[in-house]
Amino acid sequence: MVVSRRPQALGGGCRGALGSLLLLAFTATLSAARILASPDCGKPQQLNRVVGGQDSADAEWPWVVSIQKNGTHHCAGSLLTSRWVVTAAHCFKGHLNRPSLFSVLLGAWQLENPGPRSQKVGIAWALPHPRYSWKEGDRADIALVRLEHPIQFSERVLPICLPDSSVDFPPRTNCWIAGWGSISEGVPLPYPQTLQKLKVPIIHSDICSRLYWRGVGQEAITEDMMCAGYLEGERDACLGDSGGPLMCRVEGAWLLAGIISWGEGCAERNRPGVYTSLAAHRSWVERIVQGAQFRGRSWGGGAGRAKGEGSGAAPLA
């Protein structure tokens, strides 16, 4: 730390210098306490970026977690508070009553080299949305994961914001997804399994509904789903990315717009990725997750708030 030298006050001597050091130490302690206790959501605390590549930068997405099954990456998720992660419900299909099979790895950039500052914690339980039916591509594909104990926040481990009622994500909004999933069908992410990122535009719901049309009364795209990606294919989420975030930046903070849910194949033409909309399940999440932070448009009362403490559709996991 570089400290500017200031003229000594009369009679200051060592006592004045000691006082300055104590003040600096106290200030540093307060800053650390803010990170550990209640950091701002959606704001990474590092500046470096990889421009134009597929690899993300270390600590670029500090809320993205790896949900592991028997010690192997299974799904992704997003950190909401020190005790809660949100992911896709289908990640726990067949194993909902066996939380001991699962753990959550936080603060890892490369799965094969998570580093000493990563954290691994068990799962106390997973709570799928009550409307989820465990059918592939079904509505309400969202689950809240309660961690066994609170994690410690750091530059690599921070929560993401949730959108409040003032926010919508219109078509062509550029957002981002991130995950450790396969780089194409049948091709896993190679060593050292660096977190990948991809910019994806929001697709109009009418267009997506037509693309996935299955006939009258068999709508694949329900009111709580949203689509993002490229109609020409080639760029998309894939196997192992399920549960990860669809993130959009609003007024300087990253908001969780959706959860990677399903798609037909990976990066197929006219088969964009389908996401569970957080806005559609906002009230359910808010009711359960104590301390989740909501952000929105400043003209819509979005200065930010936190709830008080207290068929053909193939899933991607």
Q: How many structural domains compose the chain?
A: 2
Is residue 15 pLDDT above 70, yes or no? Answer: no
Contacts of 180 by beta carbon, 8 Å cutoff, 6+ apart: 66, 73, 76, 111, 189, 193, 195, 196, 240, 241
Whether residues 142 and 207 fall in one domain: no
pTM value is 0.81
Weakest mean pLDDT among 127-136, 254-263, 307-316: 307-316
Whether residues 83 and 126 fall in one domain: yes
Is residue 11 pLDDT above 50, yes or no? Answer: no
pLDDT at 219: 79
Q: Could you tell me if residue 250 is inside a domain?
A: yes
pLDDT at 53: 33
Weakest mean pLDDT among 114-118, 202-206, 251-255, 302-306: 302-306
Domain carrying residue 233: 162-279+292-315
Is residue 306 pLDDT above 70, yes or no? Answer: no
Residue whose C-alpha is closest to residue 196's, from 146, 269, 274, 260:
260
Parallel, antiparallel or unpaired: strands 293-295 and 162-163:
parallel
Q: Could you tell me if residue 6 is inside a domain?
A: no
Whether residues 310 and 166 fall in one domain: yes
Distance CA 119, CA 197 (A): 21
Whether residues 118 and 171 fall in one domain: no
Whether residues 193 and 247 fall in one domain: yes
* Mean pLDDT (the chain, rounded): 82
pLDDT digits (tens, 9 = 90+) for 224-252: 999 999 998 888 898 899 999 999 999 99
Whether residues 90 and 219 fall in one domain: no
* Residues involved in catalysis: 90, 141, 242
Q: Could you tell me if residue 142 is inside a domain?
A: yes
- Answer with the one of 147, 179, 196 that is the final residue of a domain: 147
Q: Could you tell me where the beta strands, DSSP code E, fall in 129-252?
A: 143-147, 162-163, 174-179, 196-203, 225-228, 245-250
Whether residues 83 and 125 fall in one domain: yes
Inter-residue contact 154 to 117 (CB < 8 Å): yes
Weakest mean pLDDT among 41-55, 110-124, 129-143, 220-234: 41-55
Cα 252 to chain centroid distance, Å, stands at 16
Vertex 154: Cα angle to 150 and 155 (nearest 5): 145
Q: Could you tell me if residue 57 is inside a domain?
A: no
Whether residues 195 and 303 fall in one domain: yes
Q: What CATH number does residue 300 fall under? A: 2.40.10.10
Weakest mean pLDDT among 65-79, 100-114, 139-153, 303-317: 303-317
Residue 167 phi, psi dihedral angles, 5° rounding = -105, 135
Whether residues 116 and 202 fall in one domain: no
